[in-house]
Structure 1
Amino acid sequence: MADEQAGGQPEPAGSELAGNPTVLVVDDDASNLASIQKIFQRDGMRVLTADSARTALDLARSHRVQVVLTDLMMPGTSGIELMRALKQVSPDTEVVMMTAYGTVETAVQAMREGAYDFVEKPLKRMTIIKSVRKAAERQSLVAENRSLKQEIKLLTRREIVGSSPALRRVLDVATQAAPSSATVLVLGESGTGKELLARYIHERSTRARGPFVAVNCAAIPESILEAELFGHERGAFTGALTRREGRFARAGGGSLFLDEIGELSPAVQVKLLRVLQEGEYEPVGGDTQRADVRVVAATNKDLRAEVSAGRFREDLFYRLNVIAITAPPLRARREDIPLLVDHFLGVYCAKNNRSRLEAPREVLARLLDYPWPGNVRELENVVERAVVLCRGDRLSVDDLPDAVRDVAEATPSTLTFSVGTPLDEVERRLIRETLRYAHGDKSLAAQLLGISTRTIYRKLGELEGGASPPAGSTGS
């Protein structure tokens, strides 16, 4: 028997209000079922009734039910078994158990398994109304919390935006590499989206259902990085009070992204090499374990130069460098800037509860002219700042940082050379003019010229017979 007092058609998702919940009453006793139905109807609730677990599950599938009030002891399927099945069909639905004297202990066990409350028979009108109302309030809060978390996840989910040839070439390689088990090395300047590329590869791999675990090797102190990556046993060192699994274990069945791989100490480099060669590792103070992960590494350093300088193992470099992908700097994909601006406006207008803003032509012109030494990350920060400071429904040039707003004043001059000008003279003038435009910042000048900082020092040394690269700078 099923009596749908709320109406004959399934109700659309989200139509129920916490103050007027839909309650499903389940009891094999027809008189008890009718009595409870009247109590809830008089209190203004929507009521569905079922005399068996099977009918109750069918109603839960076709209606948005906030609370199920079910008898604990029923022939065939018990109230606890029904609750377990309901949680599979409708995880947010709260369950209140009706129990007779002598089965309270079983009802308590049901609460341990997920029931919200239990009420004892003979039922009292105010008791069941109060219990079901509170269960409905909890269900509403849980559902709202889950919805908000999903909205935040969608807002904060980062994605690769753009259609420039430079970006398409990189994504083509990443798409081809993704289904394989090969280790991937993602190269590129800071802020170019190396982690986004790593996630892109993971999501298109055979390990997409597994976890994606990211580790910034430069952000973890060298003294604890080994234990953080490989885990440790209790008592392995002072302060190791409990056993802890490392990032390799957490990434089991998925992908491990090692950012700033060039910052690894020699000792950790050796252990990582063993993982890549043998597929196994040893937690600090523990026994050998198998590593079921796909490694994607990233760096903004020139690892070949690091190998030449003796700071990075050559054998590890070749193990990592099976497939190398270079994330293009923003200056190499300027045609993507309007798309990125539009994307970030959508994200940060929603995040700051603002109506959608527009970026007029004069704003886009400044953004297109700026050299973006911080790449996409810097552009994102600039757009977020502009959204917060904008007072109208369109961005203005005044909403931009000084460096971006005044870019027109710093636009580099155009160089012209007569046919037959010696190449070293062209190189000298080009480097000097770029340095003037970059206000003497050799790192920025190197980025604009598409060369490394070490190379610009070497060129200056060759052209002017003096300067040499500072210790620790990288080259190409």
Structure 2
Amino acid sequence: MSIRILIVEDQFIEANNLKHNLLGAGYEVCSIGRSVPIALTIIEKEKPDLVLLDIFLQGPLTGIDLARTLEKKNIPFVYLSANSNKDVLDAAKSTRPYGFLVKPFRKSDVLVMLDVAWYLHQEKLVSKAAEKAAEKPAPSPQTDEAIGGIIGGGAAHQELLKSIRIVAPSNTSVLIVGENGTGKERVAQAIHQSSPRAKEPFVIVNCGALPANLIESELFGHEKGAFTGALQKRIGKFEQADGGTIFLDEIGELPPDAQVKFLRVLQEREIESIGGRVKKVNVRIIAATNRDLEQEVAVSRFRVDLYYRLNVFPLRLLPLRERKDDIEPLARHFLKIHARQAGKTINSFSKGAIQTLLQYSWPGNVRELQNIVERTVLLTDGPEIDQISLSVESRRPADNVTADARRIKTMEENERDHIIAVLEKCNWKISGKGGAAELLDINANTLTSRMKKLGIEKSISVRRNDE
């Protein structure tokens, strides 16, 4: 099928150049619209499949005004703009475009963005069909346990379960975004377990823990003799996941050269090992990050085409402090697990203990909650937990702090403070039994990498940002 493109651009030379490039690439091109009324007339007559849309046009109406109509008509569109004003860009972003092309742009940029936009639109249509199917009454309604054991009680939790039900049956790529400890891996597992691939491999890759010189070998494998030290053939993670799902945690940590190779896997569904072996793979890709990838794209640390390929079905996991309805059910869930593991009969929390949990700000999110419940179980002798084992600093209620402490910290500041606090508890032991990596439930190499990035050293004067 030949895709029909409408160009809405009031600069004749730019519009004509775009038209020439698109025709040369095999697209059909509608008449050119230089204002919103003209564009609307063309849309009714020529039925474009996709629109390239400048923001500022002839007349009082802007491309943003037209975008709202395109959204209602379910016509995908990509903005063309030379404007960098934040308010304008925020207004444009609110219309949910399929991408931005910032002037001046190259022909290759246009073609890549169109390819990505069309791909995203097709995936959106698939997702909508799946959502419609998910709304039909099921013979036996799914419970929390039927969706990967994800526990919660609030509206955000229910919305998350709905999203998992919608996306799980498809092969759509999923990007899970959230702070450390919000349960990104658990959600990825739930999607896999609820999918037709459930009986196939679920392979986890922590991109932040991969040594730079081994990333390609780890992901794509290598042939015997491909380089010095390659004494035998190695099967990469993508090939291990063939038929199943690969979960790429901390995807924002991938270096640029690895991003290029990963983009090819997404586009071609094939891998090339070091040494030249090419193999088709049937892999569902779920990626996760605690970074703002749009910001990473803006500063050229993450490829825009890779971002849009991954961001087909985004899932944003709220921090625990923003979904307090989930705290009590999660705490009770962890209590059952750790009381059983400790061989203790502890059945409940007192009202005061629950209040303590609700007042805390949870910089470490669900992972921190689980660690605190586990520690509290070990310190409790009776059948009820009436006191939560928090540090002195942690006991300060989140909603009853000084004006200085009320300053909202960045994610990196919160992460840095949390890591330092855990390191202090472990006497700066990083790996092994009782080490900080174990308490934080992350790989020791990942922790060392994060410490280096955040400037955390044992000799540092440990001073909090809120002191």
Structure 1 length-normalised TM: 0.54
CA contact under 8 A between 2:356 and 2:388: conserved in structure 1?
no
Alignment-derived partner of residue 339 in structure 1: 329
Q: Distance in 2 between matches of 1:368 and 1:444?
A: 23
Quote the residue 2:458 is aligned against: none
1:232 corresponds to: 222
Query: Residues 113-132 of structure 1: matches in 2 within 5 Å?
Result: none
Q: Distance in 2 between matches of 1:411 and 1:385?
A: 25
Cα drift, residue 173 of structure 1:
1.5
Contact residue 188 and residue 286 of structure 2 kept, 8 A: yes
Structure 1 position 441, deviation (Å): 4.9
Identify the residue that residue 437 of structure 1 maps to in structure 2. Answer: 406
**Deviation of the 1:253 alpha carbon:** 0.7
Please give the root-mean-square deviation of Cα atoms over the aligned residues, in Å: 2.4
Partner residue in 2 for 1:172: 162
Q: What is the number of residues matched between the two proteins?
A: 271
**Equivalent in 411, 434, 437 of residue 400 of structure 2:** 411
**Residue 64 (structure 1) aligns with:** none
Give the one of 288, 302, 322 matched to 2:278. 288
Q: Distance in 2 between matches of 1:315 and 1:403?
A: 44
- Alignment pair present for 1:190 and 2:159: no
Deviations 1:232-264 (A, max 9, x none): 111112221111101111111100000000000
1:392 deviation in Å?
A: 2.5
Distance verdict in 2 for CA 1:164–1:373, change over 3 Å: same
| In the alignment, structure 1 residue 277 sits paired with structure 2 residue 288 | no
Q: Is the 8 A contact 1:187 1:300 kept in 2?
A: yes
| Residue 437 of structure 1: how far off its partner (Å) | 3.4
> How much does 1:338 deviate?
0.9
Q: Which residue of 2 aligns with 1:387?
A: 377
Q: Which of 163, 168, 193 is the matching residue for 1:203?
A: 193
Which is higher, the Rg of structure 1 or of structure 2? Answer: 1
Could you tell me which of 213, 217, 228 is aligned with 1:223?
Answer: 213
Q: Decide whether aligned partners of structure 1 residues 372 and 323 sit closer, same or farther in structure 2, where only a CA change above 3 A counts.
A: same
What secondary structure is seen at the aligned counterpart in 2 of 1:399? coil
Conserved? CA contact 1:166–1:332, under 8 Å: no
Letter in 2 for 1:232: H
Question: What's 1:353 paired with?
Answer: 343
Task: Give the whole-Å Cα distance in 1 for the aligned partners of 2:412 and 2:225.
Answer: 48
| Residues in 1 aligned to 2:388 and 2:193: alpha-carbon distance in whole angstroms | 40
Residues 347-388 of structure 1 show CA distances to partners (whole Å, capped at 9, x for unaligned) of 111112222342111111010000111111111111011011
Distance 1:398-1:299 versus aligned 2 partners, 3 A rule: closer
Measured in 1, the distance between the counterparts of 2:379 and 2:185 equals 29
- Find the counterpart in structure 1 of residue 298 from structure 2: 308
- Measure the CA separation in 2 of the matches of 1:397 and 1:236: 59
Decide whether aligned partners of structure 1 residues 179 and 312 sit closer, same or farther in structure 2, where only a CA change above 3 A counts: same
CA–CA distance in 2 between the matches of 1:441 and 1:277? 38
Q: Which amino acid aligns with 1:411?
A: N
- Report the Cα offset of residue 442 of structure 1: 4.7
How many Å apart are 1:402 and its aligned residue? 2.6
Separation in 1, partners of 2:389, 2:266: 49
Unaligned runs of 5+ in 2: 1-146, 416-452, 455-467
The structure-2 alpha-carbon separation of the partners of 1:236 and 1:208, relative to structure 1 and needing over 3 Å to count, comes to same
* Aligned residue number for residue 47 of structure 2: none
In structure 2, the partner of 1:26 is: none
How far 1:410 moved relative to its partner? 7.5
Shift in CA distance, 362/181, structure 1 to aligned 2, threshold 3 Å: same
SS in 1 for 2:349: coil
Match of 1:326 in 2: 316
Task: Tell me the TM-score normalized by structure 2.
Answer: 0.55
Structure 1 residues 326 and 355: alpha-carbon distance in aligned structure 2, compared to 1, 3 A threshold = same
Secondary structure class of the residue paired with 1:407? coil
Tell whether the 8 Å contact from 2:353 to 2:388 is kept in structure 1 after alignment: no
The 3 A distance-change label for structure 1 pair 165 and 316 is: same
1:407, CA displacement in angstroms? 2.1
**1:362 equivalent in structure 2:** 352
Any conservation in 1 of the 2:148–2:187 contact (CA below 8 Å)?
no
Cα distance in 1 for partners of 2:337, 2:170 equals: 33
1:267 paired residue number = 257
